[in-house]
Amino acid sequence: MQGRKYEGGFSFIEVLIAIVLIGIAVASLIAANSSFTRANAAGTELSTAEFLLEQIKELTFVLPVVDPNSGIATFGPEADETTLADYDDLDDFDGAVFSPPISSYKATLNGFAAYTQEVTIENVSPTDFEQVMADHGSNFVRVTVKVFYSSKPIVSADWIRASYVEP
């Protein structure tokens, strides 16, 4: 048997090495696919949250800061504003939480029921927008919108609005 020459084909060791290498390659592909799927889901959540944040921004952009009828400066809705349809100024949205979220037309977006929009309106100093002042103590307000997905914060943004007083 010692003089016998190796004939064509694979040895048992070569087959085992090939199986191990193929197994490692398949495991790597599965792990990469899982990572890509998680990253895609996170990107989708962020994109949707940004969309919902922009809906509030578009809705509140055209509203006056204080009640246009009475001129009363009250943060939160006035006593006669019991529904979202009644909100006619920016300060009505202070403390508002929308779940399911709303669109820029005040329509409920039931397709995004896992998301929540939270709005805060704060009066800020005209010289330091980080300094919160008493309600309507200046002509500047900071609007902060936070969007949550299943109670997990996804995105937050704030911007400054000026309350223009006509002479």
pLDDT in tens, 28-64: 999 888 888 888 888 899 999 999 999 999 999 888 8
The residue to which tokens 């920016």 are assigned? 90
Each residue of 108-153: pLDDT tens digit? 999 999 999 999 999 999 999 999 987 777 889 999 999 999 999 9
Residue 153, domain member (yes or no): yes
Residue 158, domain member (yes or no): yes
Residue 45, domain member (yes or no): yes
Residue 22, domain member (yes or no): no
Into how many domains does the chain fold? 1
The end-to-end CA distance of the chain, in Å, is 112
Residue 133, domain member (yes or no): yes
Residue 6, domain member (yes or no): no
Residue 67, domain member (yes or no): yes
Q: Distance between CA atoms of 50 and 111, rounded to whole angstroms?
A: 15
